[in-house]
C-alpha cells in the first residue's frame, strides 16, 4: 500500500514538472514562422496559388531576418564591464542597413507575384501580426508579474 502511495506521489510530481516546463517553453523560430505565415495568408486573403508562390519568398526573408538577429545579438558582458557604446552603435546601424536590404529584395520578389492591392494587404497583415505579437507578449508579461500562468499557445 505504501508503495502505491509513493508511486502516485511520484507520478503527480512528475506531471506537475512536465506541465510547468511546457508553460515556460518559448516558441521556436519555426513555430513563429508558421504562426506568422498562417496569419498572413488568412489576413491578406491570399488564394492557394498566391500562397504557394509567396511562401518560399516569405521563408527566405524570415530566415534572413532570423540569421541577422542571431549574428548581431549582443553578447552579455560581465556586470562590472562598461559596454563599448561606439561598437554597439555601429552594429545597430549595420544591422538596420542589412535588414533594409533584405526588405528591398523581399519587396522586389513579392512585386513580381502579387498585384499592388494584394501586396498592400500583405504588408498591412505583416504590421498587424507584429502589433498583435507585441500585445500578446506584454499581456503574458503582465500575467507572469501577477503570478498567473500564461494562456495556452494557439
Q: What are the CA-CA distances from residue 113 to residues 25, 42, 100, 103, 139 (Å)? A: 36, 17, 20, 15, 36
Locus of grid cell 504590421: 127
pLDDT tens column, 49-107: 999 999 999 999 999 999 998 887 766 667 778 888 898 899 899 999 999 999 999 99
Give the rounded distance of the alpha carbon of 150 from its chain centre. 17
Cell of residue 24, nine digits: 515556460
pLDDT tens column, 123-147: 999 999 999 988 888 877 666 676 6
pTM of the complete model: 0.72
Cell of residue 32, nine digits: 513563429
Amino acid at each position: 500500500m505504501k508503495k502505491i502511495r509513493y508511486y502516485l506521489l511520484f507520478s503527480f510530481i512528475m506531471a506537475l514538472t512536465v506541465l510547468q516546463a511546457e508553460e515556460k517553453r518559448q516558441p521556436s523560430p519555426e513555430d513563429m514562422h508558421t504562426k506568422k505565415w498562417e496569419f498572413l495568408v488568412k489576413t491578406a486573403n491570399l488564394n492557394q496559388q498566391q500562397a504557394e508562390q509567396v511562401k518560399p519568398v516569405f521563408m527566405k526573408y524570415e530566415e534572413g531576418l532570423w540569421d541577422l538577429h542571431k549574428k548581431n545579438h549582443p553578447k552579455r558582458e560581465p556586470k562590472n564591464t562598461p559596454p563599448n557604446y561606439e561598437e554597439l552603435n555601429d552594429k545597430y546601424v549595420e544591422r538596420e542597413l542589412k535588414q533594409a536590404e533584405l526588405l528591398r529584395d523581399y519587396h522586389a520578389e513579392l512585386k513580381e507575384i502579387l498585384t499592388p492591392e494584394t501586396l498592400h494587404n500583405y504588408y498591412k497583415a505583416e504590421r498587424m501580426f507584429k502589433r498583435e505579437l507585441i500585445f500578446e507578449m506584454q499581456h503574458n508579461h503582465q500575467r507572469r508579474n501577477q503570478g498567473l500562468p500564461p494562456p495556452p499557445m494557439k
